[in-house]
């Protein structure tokens, strides 16, 4: 039974088109993640995997514990480079040569810009050029200081947005980050994370289309009468459908993520897996204490739970409405739900927005959000809640789909 | 082996599709005859547990068929009037899949499929996609899928719709061959489908079974009620208005009429042997469907 359910999905032209779309989405994701360049000694841009490798070789030189000594060296190098005639020149070509020389410290420069920003929410690309090596000692303390200033600034929105307990929680998280942390070239991971939401969202939309036919197809083809009048039509054959849906979601999702990850990491290298995520400028403000490797696990399992939940909902709708239309729309609605909610300005809705299921499909971004909840008086971030909430909802959905479908239509 | 309907009623909002049907079916072929909208499909869907009666009960050997669930459906073969399938499946895959949801083991499924494809004359088409088959061929696959599990109860809703005359005869023969030791209930508008093979004919009208009996019993009731008479062509209109006319044949300015009426319609009218078509006309006031309408 199970085998034929799978066959039904992919025997249709629509099923084959969906596979093609998946392949296109994967190719597009890989292509965008692999879009990089390296500026050589002459100030010319080089592209492709070779460029990525040269950049890696350069930046690897700075890997290791990011202590005061290393920061001082980096500040020295960045400021010295900024003072060279090439950097000062009005000529673009000369500037490019200077940029090329700065590529080695590019990652640390980003972190310095973050740490020495004028305030928590500002980022100035040239900030690092105006530092002195003596300031290196303030690097980690600044991360905490900027947060504290932001939270206590009465003119800012954070002051009103967070309760005292939440503010204390945020500061505690920042204060307990182990420093100095180890730094490495992490382009493989950061680029992977950057385009992961594209992969997850396109996958879930196409999956929605694939799995809804499992249930609405019987009605669409008017094959439901024979189905439900068969011996297993109200139990095992329905279970086979649910199973086929789950297997398709699982197989397609992990194939997409596996191929995408393998490609991007092979392209850039998988260095930096054990660095804390804060060692990459994009995640400098992250309030969770996790390594890049742990972040990868959260990103892909979050995406899997999100895919399962959304596909489960699609299956439920197509099983109970007996039509594919509402079901196919579901992923779009869920993914853009927050954009609609954003238009309103209410505290409750803001809290609800922090728990929208699309956040699971973009864990890399979600991990950087300061969405906090206080269930039972204890402050926690949105991430564990998202996992628990949608894990539980998905577990509930599976038997619900089964029950909704086996009823058939009694009219 | 006894399928018993007691006071079975099905109401859709304001329509009483089936009303107080009580009937017990035992081994044999039952022909369910009725005009469009008589309630045949609704009754059959209830017998297949697809919809629940709004009143009354259906039991199999004393047990409610809805309570029996899978145990009952295990014995059931059903060809819906609106027979749908998976267009991209081959005939063979389709039958294997139906065999699987009917709980047949793969080896049994293969044997049954081979045999049935031969019986319905589709062995050559087994690897064709379902959507590529002609209407009549699809119907034959439908008949084959209903028979897959060698059902004790075979319910066929207009199985001969769309079959050509040759196929229709083949189907009739196949059915008489398969009818032994099972309940076969088939619905049709076409009298000749059931005239010879049905052990009992059930006439259904407005949701009720108004009459049942063997073909002989039903026609015997009309003895001395079927007449043949000849009239000038210009009087045909008047006859059509006043009598139930089964047939008009024109013969050189005159017309020969076949009329169902308790009284002779004319002095020179001669009584004829009643057929099931006449019975149909008598009870439904309209002619039965004809198998060769399109020929
Ligand atoms: N799902 C439904 N909802 C509402 N009314 C229905 C439904 N199904 C059938 N009916 C009504 O019930 C009555 C009986 O319909 P049914 O399909 O059982 O007739 P039938 O004898 O099979 O006719 P036909 O020879 O045209 O197939 C009709 O008046 C029909 O309109
Ligand atoms: Mg019908």
- Residue among A359, A349, A347, A350 nearest A384 (CA): A359
| Mean pLDDT confidence for B43-51 | 95
Total count of domains within chain A? 2
pLDDT band at B79 (very low <50, low <70, confident <90, very high): very high
Is A228 an 8 Å CB contact of chain B? yes
Whether the pLDDT of residue A293 is over 50: the answer is: yes
Tell me the β-bridge partners of B190: B289
The reply to whether A203 and A165 lie within a common domain is no
Angle between helix B91-101 and B106-119 (nearest 10): 130
Whether the pLDDT of residue A136 is over 70: the answer is: yes
Reduce the DSSP state of residue A180 to 3 states and report it: coil
Q: What is the pLDDT of residue B287?
A: 59
Whether the pLDDT of residue B288 is over 80: the answer is: no
* A contact test, residue of B12, B70, B74, B101 with most A CBs within 10 A: B101
- Asked if A11 lies within 8 A of B84 by C-beta distance, the reply is no
Tokens representing A116?
Answer: 């020495």
| Mean pLDDT confidence for A121-128 | 89
- Asked if A223 lies within 8 A of B69 by C-beta distance, the reply is no
The reply to whether A294 and A221 lie within a common domain is yes
In this structure, which ligand is nearest to the CA of B156? 2
Return d(Cα A392, Cα B17) in angstroms, integer.
44
pLDDT band at B292 (very low <50, low <70, confident <90, very high): very low
**pLDDT tens-digit profile of A152-191?**
998 888 888 899 999 999 999 999 999 899 999 999 999 9
- How far is A234 from chain B, CA to nearest CA, in Å? 8
Tokens representing A102?
Answer: 């700065």
Is A217 an 8 Å CB contact of chain B? yes
The reply to whether A244 and A361 lie within a common domain is yes
pLDDT band at A99 (very low <50, low <70, confident <90, very high): very high
User: What is the torsional sign of CA B210, B212, B218, B221?
Assistant: negative
Whether the pLDDT of residue B289 is over 70: the answer is: no
Question: Of residues A308 and B180, which shows the higher confidence score?
Answer: A308
Task: Give whole-number Cα distances, B249 to A37, A307, B234, B246, B253, in Å.
Answer: 92, 71, 13, 10, 11
Residue with tokens 């009329």: B259
**Residues in chain A closer than 8 A to B87 (CB atoms):** 221
The reply to whether A148 and A204 lie within a common domain is no
Complex ipTM, two decimals?
Answer: 0.90
Return d(Cα A291, Cα A293) in angstroms, integer.
5
| Mean pLDDT confidence for A32-58 | 92
| Mean pLDDT confidence for B42-54 | 95
| Mean pLDDT confidence for B61-86 | 94
Q: What is the pLDDT of residue B295?
A: 34
Whether the pLDDT of residue B293 is over 60: the answer is: no
Q: What is the pLDDT of residue B50?
A: 95
For a pLDDT cut of 70, what percent of chain A falls above it? Answer: 99
Q: How far is the CA of A324 from the centre of ligand 2 (A)?
A: 27
Q: What is the pLDDT of residue B291?
A: 45
Q: What is the pLDDT of residue B252?
A: 81
| Mean pLDDT confidence for A18-45 | 94
The reply to whether A257 and A360 lie within a common domain is yes
Q: How far is the CA of B2 from the centre of ligand 2 (A)?
A: 24
Listed residues A131, A153, A180: the one ending a domain: A180
In this structure, which ligand is nearest to the CA of B202? 1
- How far is A199 from chain B, CA to nearest CA, in Å? 29
- Asked if A234 lies within 8 A of B70 by C-beta distance, the reply is yes
Whether the pLDDT of residue B290 is over 80: the answer is: no
Listed residues A180, A214, A239: the one ending a domain: A180
**pLDDT tens-digit profile of B233-257?**
888 888 888 888 888 888 888 888 8
Residue with tokens 């090439």: A86
Reduce the DSSP state of residue B246 to 3 states and report it: strand
Q: How many other β-carbons are positioned within 10 Å of the β-carbon of residue B173?
A: 11
| Chain B residue closest in CA terms to A222 | B84
- How far is B226 from chain A, CA to nearest CA, in Å? 41
Highest-pLDDT range among A106-115, A123-132, A344-353: A106-115
Question: Of residues B221 and A222, which shows the higher confidence score?
Answer: A222
Task: Fill in the DSSP letter of residue B152.
Answer: S
Q: How far is the CA of B6 from the centre of ligand 1 (A)?
A: 20
| Structural domain for A97, as ranges | 37-65+67-180
| Mean pLDDT confidence for A114-130 | 91
**pLDDT tens-digit profile of A370-398?**
999 988 889 999 999 999 999 999 999 99
- Asked if B101 lies within 8 A of A231 by C-beta distance, the reply is yes
Residue nearest to atom 13 of ligand 1 (CA): B17
Whether the pLDDT of residue A368 is over 70: the answer is: yes
The reply to whether A16 and A136 lie within a common domain is no
Q: Considering only A334-343, B17-26, B59-68, B115-124, which range has the smallest mean pLDDT?
A: A334-343
The reply to whether A331 and A239 lie within a common domain is yes
**pLDDT tens-digit profile of A307-317?**
999 999 999 99
* B contact test, residue of A231, A234, A235, A239 with most B CBs within 10 A: A231
In this structure, which ligand is nearest to the CA of B35? 1
- How far is B83 from chain A, CA to nearest CA, in Å? 7
**pLDDT tens-digit profile of A208-266?**
999 988 999 999 999 999 999 999 999 999 999 999 999 999 999 999 999 999 999 99
Return d(Cα B168, Cα A90) in angstroms, integer.
92
Is A221 an 8 Å CB contact of chain B? yes
Q: What is the pLDDT of residue B262?
A: 85
- Asked if A228 lies within 8 A of B69 by C-beta distance, the reply is no
The reply to whether A342 and A362 lie within a common domain is yes
Is cis: bond before A180, omega within 30 of 0?
Answer: yes
**Residues in chain B closer than 8 A to A226 (CB atoms):** 78, 80, 83-85, 98, 145
**Residues in chain A closer than 8 A to B49 (CB atoms):** 228-229
Question: Of residues B179 and B28, which shows the higher confidence score?
Answer: B28
Mean pLDDT (chain A) is 92
The reply to whether A104 and A89 lie within a common domain is yes
Return d(Cα A189, Cα A364) in angstroms, integer.
10
Q: What is the pLDDT of residue B286?
A: 65
- Asked if B101 lies within 8 A of A237 by C-beta distance, the reply is yes
pLDDT band at B129 (very low <50, low <70, confident <90, very high): very high
pLDDT band at A18 (very low <50, low <70, confident <90, very high): very high
**Residues in chain B closer than 8 A to A217 (CB atoms):** 86
Nearest Cβ partner for B103 among A221, A228, A231 = A231
- Asked if A233 lies within 8 A of B73 by C-beta distance, the reply is yes
Q: Which residues of B touch A (CB under 8 A)?
A: 12, 45, 48-52, 69-70, 73-74, 76, 78, 80, 82-89, 93, 96-98, 100-103, 145, 149
Q: How many other β-carbons are positioned within 10 Å of the β-carbon of residue A370?
A: 20
The reply to whether A282 and A143 lie within a common domain is no
Is A227 an 8 Å CB contact of chain B? yes
Q: What is the pLDDT of residue A157?
A: 82
| Mean pLDDT confidence for B271-285 | 84
The reply to whether A223 and A361 lie within a common domain is yes
The reply to whether A6 and A115 lie within a common domain is no
Tokens representing A78?
Answer: 């960045």
pLDDT band at B173 (very low <50, low <70, confident <90, very high): confident
Nearest atom in ligand 1 to A411's CA: 1
Task: Give whole-number Cα distances, A94 to A88, A97, A130, in Å.
Answer: 9, 5, 20
Listed residues A165, A180, A195: the one ending a domain: A180
Mean pLDDT (chain B) is 89
Q: How far is the CA of B241 from the centre of ligand 1 (A)?
A: 29
């Amino acid at each position: 039974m199970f085998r034929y359910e799978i066959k039904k999905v992919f025997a249709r032209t629509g099923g084959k088109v969906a596979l093609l779309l998946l392949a296109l989405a994967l190719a597009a994701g890989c292509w965008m993640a692999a879009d990089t360049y390296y500026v050589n000694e002459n100030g010319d841009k080089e592209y492709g995997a070779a460029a990525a490798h040269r950049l890696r070789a350069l930046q690897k030189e700075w890997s290791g514990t990011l202590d005061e000594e290393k920061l001082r060296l980096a500040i020295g190098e960045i400021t010295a480079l900024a003072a060279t005639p090439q950097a000062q020149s009005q000529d673009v070509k000369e500037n490019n040569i200077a940029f090329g020389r700065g590529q080695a410290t590019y990652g640390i420069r980003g972190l310095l810009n973050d740490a020495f920003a004028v305030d928590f929410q500002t980022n100035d690309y040239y900030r690092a050029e105006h530092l002195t090596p003596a300031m290196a000692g303030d690097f980690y303390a600044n991360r905490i200081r900027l947060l504290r200033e932001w939270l206590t600034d009465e003119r800012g929105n954070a002051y009103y947005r967070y309760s005292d307990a939440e503010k204390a929680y945020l500061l505690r998280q920042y204060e307990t980050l182990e420093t100095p942390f180890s730094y490495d070239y992490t382009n493989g991971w950061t680029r992977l994370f950057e385009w992961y939401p594209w992969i997850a969202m396109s996958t879930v939309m196409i999956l929605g289309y694939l799995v809804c036919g499992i249930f609405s197809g019987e009605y669409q083809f008017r094959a439901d009468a024979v189905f439900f009048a068969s011996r297993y039509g109200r139990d095992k054959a329905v279970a086979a459908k649910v199973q086929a849906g789950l297997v398709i979601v699982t197989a397609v999702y992990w194939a997409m993520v596996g191929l995408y990850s393998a490609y991007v990491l092979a392209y850039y290298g998988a260095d930096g897996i054990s660095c804390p995520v804060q060692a990459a400028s994009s995640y400098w403000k992250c309030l969770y204490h996790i390594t890049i490797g742990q972040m990868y696990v959260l990103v892909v399992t979050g995406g899997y739970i999100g895919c399962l939940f959304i596909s489960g909902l699609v299956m439920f709708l197509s099983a109970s409405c007996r039509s594919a239309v509402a079901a196919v729309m579901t992923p779009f609605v869920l993914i853009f739900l927050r954009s609609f909610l954003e238009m309103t300005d209410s505290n409750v809705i803001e809290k609800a927005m922090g728990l929208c299921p699309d956040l699971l499909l973009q864990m890399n971004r979600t991990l950087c959000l300061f969405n906090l909840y206080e269930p039972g008086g204890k402050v926690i971030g949105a991430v564990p809640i998202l996992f628990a909430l949608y894990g539980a909802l998905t577990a509930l959905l599976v038997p619900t789909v089964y029950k909704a479908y086996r009823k058939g239509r009694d009219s | 082996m006894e399928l018993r309907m007691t006071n079975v009623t099905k109401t859709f909002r304001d329509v009483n599709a089936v009303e107080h049907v009580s009937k017990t079916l035992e081994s044999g072929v039952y022909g369910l005859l009725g005009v469009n909208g008589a309630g045949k499909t609704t009754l059959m869907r209830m017998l297949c547990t697809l919809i629940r009666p709004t009143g009354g009960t259906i039991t199999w050997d004393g047990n409610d068929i809805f309570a029996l669930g899978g145990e009952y459906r295990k014995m059931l073969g059903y060809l819906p009037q609106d027979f749908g399938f998976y267009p991209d499946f081959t005939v063979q895959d389709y039958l294997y899949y139906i065999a699987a949801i009917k709980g047949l083991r793969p080896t049994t499924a293969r044997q049954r499929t081979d045999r049935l494809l031969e019986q319905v004359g589709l062995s050559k088409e087994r690897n064709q996609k379902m959507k590529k088959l002609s209407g009549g061929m699809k119907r034959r696959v439908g008949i084959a899928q209903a028979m897959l599990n060698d059902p004790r109860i075979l319910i066929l809703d207009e199985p001969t719709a769309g079959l050509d005359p040759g196929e229709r005869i083949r189907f009739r023969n196949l059915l008489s061959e398969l009818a032994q030791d099972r309940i076969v209930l088939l619905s049709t508008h076409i009298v000749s489908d059931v005239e010879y093979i049905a052990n009992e004919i059930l006439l259904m009208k407005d949701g009720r079974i108004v009459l049942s009996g063997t073909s002989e019993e039903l026609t015997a009731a009309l003895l001395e009620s079927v007449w043949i008479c000849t009239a000038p062509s210009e009087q045909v209109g008047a006859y059509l208005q006043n009598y139930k006319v089964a047939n008009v044949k024109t013969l050189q300015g005159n017309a020969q009429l076949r009329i169902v009426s308790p009284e002779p319609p004319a002095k020179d009218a001669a009584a004829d042997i009643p057929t099931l078509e006449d019975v149909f006309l008598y009870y439904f006031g309209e002619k039965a469907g004809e198998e060769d309408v399109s020929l």
